[in-house]
Amino acid sequence: MKIGLFGASGLIAQELSSYFESLGHEVVGFSSQSHCKTPFNQYSDLGQHKDLEVLINLIGGHSKNNLLSDFARAGKIDDLGCEWSMLNDKPYVYLSSGSVFGTDLSSPIRNDYMPTLVKGLDPYAQSKLIAEQKHSTLRSLGGKVHDLRIFSYAGPKFIQLGNYFLSGLLHAAMDKRVFKVEGPDFLRDYVGSSEVAQAVFSSIRSNEGLTANLH
């Protein structure tokens, strides 16, 4: 399978790309990050890749220096993916961070949750919520546009370089120091690149667009 990947320079995207390739799939990466060592395609090059079978959007956060332009850019790239999907009748899978959805962390979010804009959301979160609402409309028109919300992702680079619970645990072990936590006991599970890939394949096999939570 030939897979197109938007936001290919991100940590999750790199790990997902490596996993797809280990299964024998070909990944065509798109990114605007010109400083990366890997020569990615520009988003404007999408039309040159006629044989893509699925397109995945994994664009990450925004620069704090120019929020407005990054906000607009994310919308334009999503429009590009939606247009590609509708014109070619092929699946477009949009992956969002679970941290964007809702403020109640005591219970998992339901698949039928319809996000709404609330006060205080940063431009990154707003762009994800607006995209889901747009995708819902396209699905009502028969579009193969899928939304996957990723909760609690964990991967080698992501854990090592990130600032998350597992990151703190790992660094404490490496530094041979006590890792302190506060509050009541809790249970937490994580998903990795293999689970994300399985969710993507399930989306591809679906005859209709869907929204799903991965946690």
**What distance in Å separates the CA atoms of residue 31 and residue 7, rounded to the nearest whole number?**
5
> Which of 104, 192, 201, 115 lies closest to 155, judged by CA?
192
- The confidence score (pLDDT) of residue 72 equals 80
Q: Are 60 and 32 in contact (CB under 8 A)?
A: no
- The confidence score (pLDDT) of residue 74 equals 84
Q: What is the mean pLDDT of the chain?
A: 80
**What distance in Å separates the CA atoms of residue 114 and residue 111, rounded to the nearest whole number?**
9
**What distance in Å separates the CA atoms of residue 62 and residue 34, rounded to the nearest whole number?**
16
Sheet of 54-57, strand order: 26-30, 2-6, 54-57, 92-97, 145-150, 211-214
Apex CA 139: angle with CA 45 and CA 77, to 5°? 25
- The confidence score (pLDDT) of residue 211 equals 74
- The confidence score (pLDDT) of residue 124 equals 73
- The confidence score (pLDDT) of residue 148 equals 86
Compute the average pLDDT of residues 176-186.
Answer: 75
- The confidence score (pLDDT) of residue 180 equals 78
Please give the helix or strand (H or E) that residue 94 lies within, else none: strand 92-97
pLDDT tens, residue by residue, 55-86? 999 987 655 556 666 778 888 999 999 999 99
Residue 14 has pLDDT above 80, yes or no: yes
pLDDT tens, residue by residue, 106-127? 555 666 666 555 556 667 777 8
Torsional sign, CA 72, 77, 80, 81: negative
Q: Using 50, 70 and 90 to split pLDDT, how confident is the model at 20?
A: very high
Q: Looking at per-residue confidence, does 107 or 44 come out higher?
A: 44
Print burial letters for 112-134: b (CB count within 10 Å at least 16), e (below 16). eeebeeeeeeebbbbbbbbbbeb
Question: Side-chain half-sphere of 70: how many Cα atoms within 13 Å?
Answer: 18
| 108 phi and psi angles, rounded to 5 deg | -65, 150
Residue 213 has pLDDT above 80, yes or no: no
Q: Are 213 and 98 in contact (CB under 8 A)?
A: yes
Residue 37 has pLDDT above 70, yes or no: no
Residue 102 has pLDDT above 70, yes or no: no
- The confidence score (pLDDT) of residue 189 equals 64
pLDDT tens, residue by residue, 126-166? 788 888 889 999 999 999 999 988 877 776 666 666 666 66
Residue 202 has pLDDT above 90, yes or no: no
Residue 35 has pLDDT above 60, yes or no: no
Compute the average pLDDT of residues 88-103.
Answer: 79
